[in-house]
Structure 1
Amino acid sequence: MVCVTTLCGSALFSGPLLGSDLRRTPIVEAVKSARPSVVNIKGEKTLGASDPQVLQGDVGRRVNGMGTGVVIDPAGYIITNHHVIDGVREIQVTTADEHEYIAKLVSRDPETDLAVIKIDPTEPLPVVKIGTSRDLMPGESVVAVGNAYGYEHTATRGIISALHRAVQVSDAQYYEDLIQTDASINPGNSGGPLLNIDGEMIGINVAVRAGAQGIGFAIPVDKAVSVAADLLAAHGLQRVWHGVQLEADGPQAGLAPVVGSVADESPAKLAGLESGDVITRIGNLEVERALDFHRAILGLDVGQSTDLLVRRGDETVNLTLTVAKVPGYLKPAVGPYWELLGVELKPTPDDEFRQNYRTRYRGGLSVTAVRPDSPAASHGIREGDVLVGMHIWETISFKNVDYVVDRVRSHSDSASLNPVKFYVLRGSETLYGYLPIPVAMGKTVQR
């Protein structure tokens, strides 16, 4: 009896425990593979009407915001929701290895509620595996990963409940063609990945139906990466020029992008690229979608070259592309305060101002853009603000701003005026700060 027991014990415990293998399900592997590319985002922000979880009475209230992002390039480019970073004074990012960074906003698209931000990591970051949303099936298993309620890297599982949902989350935010899932998507999950069972990102988590159980939504990944590619292309055009216009990603995932057109006398033209070429490699990066091409270009400086592998009909062609300085006619037109202060301003119509703001101010100038690393950006001015005053003067028109800037830059006691106290309307709040005005460049640009 003892012998039998000993033999049985030996048989039971001599090999590896089966439970370990049984527990390592596809869900476990999917979370494990995606987790290193998921980052947590936080920072103080002003609640806006476009925030999917905001209550109407909370618009304009400052809160400690939280959200999630996904690494799409080893150099630190991260995709997230626009509403996650909108109104955030300082975008704080924590990577999966618990390194903390301050992110810069690269570009955003409020209409699709997507944004790209950038950190400068100490070493290359893991990149999420990008799948496709073209072949999704209602009923298939999915996993949502994110910073739910501040609990980092929370994973929840569910299924795809439906496709092509249209959702109105507020007067300011409307979504089309969303993925509906019963995987729990909570505040803080926004901007994180929705994964399939293979660990591929198939969507960007965006919203939950208030008051409903098990109804969450995600932006399809094909749309998300297409928008991200456009945002990176626009950002790249601020630095270098190549002259390639790519067609939209093809009908099947994993197909390299097709060259739609090549600008005359451009670097691409000089390199020998032609309309209809299929770019399959740039440098050491395999190109499977337009996003890959544009993120590779972002790593190049003016005058730098990279190898291209192109499919042209039945032939494979090797080319060398040398990017150039952006021609003046391609640079975006900006107003007189862009170089000086880093803001683009436009007058706010009287009726619009009275309708949107109940305030003692008579009017203001809407901030339509803020240049990263500018005086305006580093001192708290945000896109969407309305500038209503500088020092003791109102700012209803450009002439008002011209007067203040000229006074600061030419007045004998400019030191007592500079930095200039400014006032902005943001939501239901009136905020103020201090904006330094450069004084070494002469007077303001002439109108």
Structure 2
Amino acid sequence: MIKWLITPAIYGVLCLTAVLSSASELRETPAVRAYKRASASVVNIHTEKSAQERDSVFASSRGRKINGMGTGIVIDERGYIVTNHHVVADVELIRATFEDGSDYDARVIGVDKEQDLAVIKVDGTKTFKVAPFGTSSDIYLAERVLAIGNAYGYRHTVTEGIVSALGRDVEVNETQSYRNLIQTDASINPGNSGGPLINMDGDVIGVNVAIRAGAQRIGFAIPIDDARKVVARLISVEQMGLGYHGAILRDLKTATQKLLIIENVLSDSPAQRAGLKAGDVVLKAGSLEVCDSVDFERSLLGRKPGDNLDLVVRRNDRDEKLNFALGQSNISLVQNQAFRPASTGINETEAQRFWQILGLKLAPIAADQKLLTGTRYRGGLRVVDVRPDSPAASNGITKGDILVGLHDWETLSVENVTWIVNKSNEIKLNPIKFYIVRGQETLFGHLQTASRQ
């Protein structure tokens, strides 16, 4: 009789265990697993800035605080975070809150207004979890995705949807437009800007950026491959004036591989001295596995000119170890380099030569124009026209930019450019590194110049 009473109890426990196990399997869907994989690297951003109000009685101004919100994605364990530029534009305070509730003050490292991306940094004693980044090169239409963000200030809000379309061009207003966006019907609300769009593997495939006003379930994200190219530039030690490597990098991303290829190596650069060659695939930099240019630039963060870094590259199907030493920033060289003797003055022939070689039409900055106010540069040349399909156009130089340097030399006058072009031809310097000022930002790139006539 006692055995009869005990047996149902044991049977009941076994049934309950089976039900719980079954429920757990049903509840932990691919979406749940994807969220768990990415959530710790999602950051809720709160901002504050002052606005001026006019007192109608006393006609005096007083400041009031405007609070903003957004989202970010951790790109480096030392606290580097990518978000949208419009989230942090003109703010006085940035506060970043992580999934575990810890929060930190943050500062802006770099911005790209045109691409609407920014990198901010928090300083903490712990190691921050880096987001699992995928690729946007193999996205399927109708595949399921999640958007995670600080929607309306509600931290770590998750919405689910599908990829509705690819390659969308969206014009928000007269000053902001986007190209090649991912369209999704996952709800993207105010506060989601800068947060991740992830696939069912939990990989980040986009940076949420915009919603279509007045439309339901139409949101957009910047493809992660496009975003990481911008991020690599924003965290580059060269961009920040903290060092110089002289390697021109190219990301190759497909459904099956993510590679960083050395596109070219500048003459007499640290990269050349280390033995890097065009075509090398960088596998490892220090202790960091390298999949793209962001990883390579991350490996240089915190290092000083002269610091050594071990590289592993694949060359001709063999792995080779190289020792690389970070060089002095070219930006500081441009700022401090005393200009060398110029050639003859500019004339129509020289102007045509610049147009052919660089694709640029340049003009001096008028004395009453304050285009370089607040920058570190002594002067520059205004870009008044860019030839379509030219080296300048393909490298993103646009009308209105201020050319402040080529290679190691500043460009205070058109005569300077004449001398630099002649010198670069003499020493076979191709491509030529350029520095431009756009707004308050210093940008750089490399001009693979056309054949010189």
Same fold by TM (over 0.5)?
yes
Q: Residue type of the partner of 1:35?
A: S
1:318 and 2:318 matched: no
Show the counterpart of 2:136.
133
1:150 and 2:153 matched: yes
Show the counterpart of 2:296.
293
- SS of 1:133 mapped into structure 2: coil
Structure 1 residue 283: deviation in Å? 0.7
Residue-by-residue CA offset, 1:364-388 (whole Å, 9 max, x unaligned): 95787679xxxxxxxxxxxxxxxxx
Please show how residues 343-362 of structure 1 align to structure 2 within 5 Å: none
2:37 corresponds, among 33, 36, 40, to 33
Structure 1 residue 237: deviation in Å? 4.9
Structure 1 residue 7: deviation in Å? 5.9
Please show how residues 181-260 of structure 1 align to structure 2 within 5 Å: 181-233=184-236, 237-250=240-253, 254-260=257-263
TM-score between both structures, scaled by the size of structure 2: 0.68
Question: CA 1:136–1:153 in 2, change beyond 3 Å: closer, same or farther?
Answer: same
Structure 1 residue 252: deviation in Å? 5.5
- SS of 1:256 mapped into structure 2: strand
Show the counterpart of 1:168.
171
- Following the alignment from structure 1 to structure 2, what is the Cα–Cα distance between the partners of residues 251 and 106? 29
Contact 1:106-1:235 within 8 A present in 2 as well: no
- SS of 2:235 mapped into structure 1: helix
- Following the alignment from structure 2 to structure 1, what is the Cα–Cα distance between the partners of residues 99 and 46? 14
- Following the alignment from structure 2 to structure 1, what is the Cα–Cα distance between the partners of residues 366 and 98? 40
- Following the alignment from structure 1 to structure 2, what is the Cα–Cα distance between the partners of residues 329 and 299? 18
Contact 1:146-1:192 within 8 A present in 2 as well: yes
Please show how residues 357-372 of structure 1 align to structure 2 within 5 Å: none
- SS of 2:327 mapped into structure 1: coil
Question: CA 1:264–1:208 in 2, change beyond 3 Å: closer, same or farther?
Answer: same
1:92 corresponds, among 80, 91, 95, to 95
- SS of 1:19 mapped into structure 2: helix
1:82 and 2:93 matched: no
1:19 corresponds, among 17, 23, 35, to 23
Q: Which range moves more in the overlay, 36-45 or 196-205? A: 36-45
Residue-by-residue CA offset, 1:238-263 (whole Å, 9 max, x unaligned): 11122211124355664321112222
Question: CA 1:21–1:348 in 2, change beyond 3 Å: closer, same or farther?
Answer: farther
1:71 corresponds, among 74, 77, 81, to 74
Structure 1 residue 43: deviation in Å? 1.3
* Structure 1 unpaired stretches of 5+: 48-60, 335-345, 350-363, 372-447
- SS of 2:225 mapped into structure 1: helix
Question: CA 1:18–1:366 in 2, change beyond 3 Å: closer, same or farther?
Answer: same
- Following the alignment from structure 2 to structure 1, what is the Cα–Cα distance between the partners of residues 308 and 366? 43
- Following the alignment from structure 1 to structure 2, what is the Cα–Cα distance between the partners of residues 269 and 20? 56
- Following the alignment from structure 1 to structure 2, what is the Cα–Cα distance between the partners of residues 275 and 156? 44
- Following the alignment from structure 2 to structure 1, what is the Cα–Cα distance between the partners of residues 367 and 83? 30
- SS of 2:230 mapped into structure 1: helix
* Structure 2 unpaired stretches of 5+: 52-63, 338-364, 377-453
Structure 1 residue 41: deviation in Å? 1.1
- SS of 2:299 mapped into structure 1: helix
Q: What's the C-alpha RMSD, in Å, of the aligned pairs?
A: 2.8
Question: CA 1:168–1:234 in 2, change beyond 3 Å: closer, same or farther?
Answer: farther
1:284 and 2:287 matched: yes
- Following the alignment from structure 2 to structure 1, what is the Cα–Cα distance between the partners of residues 82 and 38? 14
TM-score between both structures, scaled by the size of structure 1: 0.69
Residue-by-residue CA offset, 1:296-318 (whole Å, 9 max, x unaligned): 11132222111100111122110
Q: Which range moves more in the overlay, 2-11 or 217-226? A: 2-11
- SS of 1:13 mapped into structure 2: helix
Question: CA 1:115–1:140 in 2, change beyond 3 Å: closer, same or farther?
Answer: same
- Following the alignment from structure 2 to structure 1, what is the Cα–Cα distance between the partners of residues 234 and 194? 16
1:123 corresponds, among 118, 122, 126, to 126
- Following the alignment from structure 1 to structure 2, what is the Cα–Cα distance between the partners of residues 118 and 234? 15
Contact 1:180-1:215 within 8 A present in 2 as well: yes
Structure 1 residue 94: deviation in Å? 1.6
Contact 1:238-1:331 within 8 A present in 2 as well: no
- Following the alignment from structure 1 to structure 2, what is the Cα–Cα distance between the partners of residues 159 and 121? 36
Q: Residue type of the partner of 1:110?
A: K
- Following the alignment from structure 1 to structure 2, what is the Cα–Cα distance between the partners of residues 174 and 330? 35
- Following the alignment from structure 1 to structure 2, what is the Cα–Cα distance between the partners of residues 288 and 250? 9
